[in-house]
Structure 1
Amino acid sequence: MRRTSARTKTGKALAVATAVAAVAGFTAWQSAAAETASQPGITAGSAVGYGAGTTGGAGGSTVTVSNATDFIKAVTSSSATTVQVNGTINLSSMQKVASNKTIVGVGTSGKITGSGLNVASVSNVIIQNLTFTGSNDDAINVQYSTKVWIDHNDISNAYDGATDVKRASDNVTVSWNHYHNQDKNCLLGHSDDNGSEDIGHLHVTYHHNWFDGTVQRNPRVRFGNPVHVYNNYFNNNSGYGVASTENAGVLVEGNYFENVDDPYHLGEADSGPGSLVARNNKLVNSGSGQTGGSVSTPSYNYSLDSADSVKSIVTGGSGVGHI
């Protein structure tokens, strides 16, 4: 959420139920009629990393929405729901999302503008295949929440953070997103004095994201250990790439940095240093980065792409329309 800046894949297609609004007075999200269909761009797949096992709205109803009123009703429903966004949803303020939700764009048509999504004090949420632009706050804020997967979105021009994860949140994967036209990008851990809540939490995996000219916080990490940043493409990041602060432990692995003077470092502004281990990265016209300390080994299996191939893989597969 709003604060002062310190500095500047692809799962197997699932069959899903599509709600049919056939009764007068019922909105699309209320319709109980459904048919089974496989639709391009309507699939959750499965998360890799700390967000693995997040199922979102699987097993519940499926609804299709195209306006803010129906969208808000669907994402705040108390039951498991897959919310298919077909059109532009204009929000006036940060919209709370309830537990057990998949919010997924249809093809390339799903857009969130005006404000963003607040994933607060909930569990089991998937946000996928959506274009977020022009939020008056964060694009996506995650706090006091577990099991969150943010995947294959296009995110730009948020007033504050693009994707912030904070306040004891845990078991989150941020994958295959295209971030651009953004200053403060991915904050992990909101303040230096929140260790009592955050220590032992904030386990997040960032993989196959395109940090496309985003200035800083790609991510900026406090307290989380380990945090895994692997197989991302960083290009033209004028501030810095990754910062490890406040005793965090960050593994920066198999990434491609291009035209990034400061790819990764320890400490940031008034925040003390964390630990950072860098291995198997490709640095093209970029600085050497700063490392130090030790980092715990991520507690999951993953397949690492060669850093040489990351640029083409990520630019060809990140963002909307690629799930």
Structure 2
Amino acid sequence: MRTTPVLKRALPVLAVLGATVAAPAPALAAGPADGFASVNALGQNGTTGGAGGTTVTATTTAQFLDYIARPEPLTVQVRGTIALPTGTTDGMHPVASDKTIIGLGSDARLSGGGLNIGLPVDDDVTTPPANAVHNIIIRNLSITGATDDLINVQMFSHHIWIDHNDFSNGDDGAVDIKRGSDFVTVSWNRFHDHDKTLLLGHDDDNAAQDVGRLRVTYHHNHFDGSDQRNPRVRFGESVHVYNNYYRDNSYGVASAMNAGVVLEGNYFHSVNNPGRVDFSGDLGRMVQRDNILVDCNHAIETRGTVVEPRTYYPYTPHRAAEVPTVVPAGAGVGKIREGRS
């Protein structure tokens, strides 16, 4: 393991690809989906969720589980606390395609279980099936206390947008994305009181499903003492991690199994290892620019080149120095302000 002196002051890490940082974007994005979830691909034009369908409101467990499993487009509003049972599924409940699941106000909550986005696991399927789960938006919910993952995305699911939520106290992952899933954005969420936060690519032996996929954007998330996997990446390229605020984590981002990560405009405070490519399994690749490290024990490890996210979508990052103010003010529930994009 590389050892370096503790970094006691803010260290701006300059661009290594000659890119310039543009003017700040608005702090509270209301929509539409951005990042990889906005890309037209796999027969889907961006991520629209339940747009064009009926809007329903769930106040009970039975209503919620019925609505999210229906085949038609729906916007499912969640009011109050919905307790998700464990039952025979270890508390993981399937979400069908073309759904928007959005909390009302600042106290909408799912507790005791998690959401499963994707077909059942089948190692023999190595290309996206026609019935892959797709086009799902999850916003403005507190999700806590799951007996497995808080959200699991698997089996070639695509065009998923997970935005402005609060994640805590799951037994396994907070948001796990794996088994060929693609075109996903995880934005403006707060992760806290959680250990294994974000897994991208579940296993070193899963190249057949994952190589050429797992394109995910993580931006403006608040990793508020979440310990590790923020995210831990295998195989995916490009994986775009920008404008996130890291505070008191054992490590930030790990890239392995030749994954390609662009780490850009993040702020790391009291993080033992902000970014690693020598982690477990084969080495990953990482390009970093305009990151700030404060009281971190190691520098960001870099290796190789990575396909630029701008190849797929436009974006306008904040300056890294703005992140400690902008992200806590805007990330999590009750922070969506309609009319701002």
Q: TM class, shorter-chain normalised?
A: 0.7 to 0.9
Match 1:288 to one of 288, 299, 302: 299
Cα gap change, 1:233/1:11 in structure 2, threshold over 3 Å: closer, same or farther?
A: closer
Matched, 1:61 2:47: no
**CA distance in structure 1 between the aligned counterparts of 2:100 and 2:217, rounded to whole angstroms:** 19
Matched, 1:210 2:226: no
- 2:324 maps to amino acid: K
- 1:54 maps to amino acid: T
Match 2:193 to one of 150, 164, 181: 181
After superposition, give the CA deviation of every residue in 1:99-127 in whole Å (9 maximum; x if it has no partner): 00000000112101111000114000000
TM-score, normalising length from structure 2? 0.81
TM-score, normalising length from structure 1? 0.86
The runs of 4+ residues in structure 1 deviating greater than 2 Å are 9-12
Matched, 1:46 2:57: no
Map of 1:82-101 to 2, 5 A cutoff?
82-92=75-85, 93-101=91-99
Tell me the SS of whatever aligns to 1:135.
Answer: coil
Cα gap change, 1:226/1:300 in structure 2, threshold over 3 Å: closer, same or farther?
A: same
**CA distance in structure 1 between the aligned counterparts of 2:323 and 2:34, rounded to whole angstroms:** 17
Q: Which residue of 1 aligns with 2:74?
A: 81
Deviation at 1:11, TM superposition (A): 4.6
Q: Which residue of 2 aligns with 1:41?
A: none
**CA distance in structure 2 between the aligned counterparts of 1:198 and 1:261, rounded to whole angstroms:** 29
Tell me the SS of whatever aligns to 2:35.
Answer: coil
After superposition, give the CA deviation of every residue in 1:156-176 in whole Å (9 maximum; x if it has no partner): 000000000000000000000
- 1:252 maps to amino acid: L
Matched, 1:279 2:289: yes
| Alpha-carbon RMSD | 1.0
Q: Which residue of 2 aligns with 1:167?
A: 179
Q: 1:252·1:276 contact (CA, 8 Å) conserved in 2?
A: yes
Deviation at 1:289, TM superposition (A): 1.8
Tell me the SS of whatever aligns to 2:251.
Answer: coil
After superposition, give the CA deviation of every residue in 1:114-150 in whole Å (9 maximum; x if it has no partner): 1100011400000000001100000000012000000
Matched, 1:241 2:252: yes
Please list every run of 5 or more consecutive structure 1 residues that lacks an aligned counterpart in the other structure.
1-8, 13-44
Q: Which residue of 1 aligns with 2:14?
A: none
Q: Which residue of 2 aligns with 1:311?
A: 324
Residue correspondences, number: 281
Identity of matched residues, %: 53
Please list every run of 5 or more consecutive structure 2 residues that lacks an aligned counterpart in the other structure.
1-26, 39-45, 86-90, 120-132, 337-341
Q: 1:246·1:267 contact (CA, 8 Å) conserved in 2?
A: no
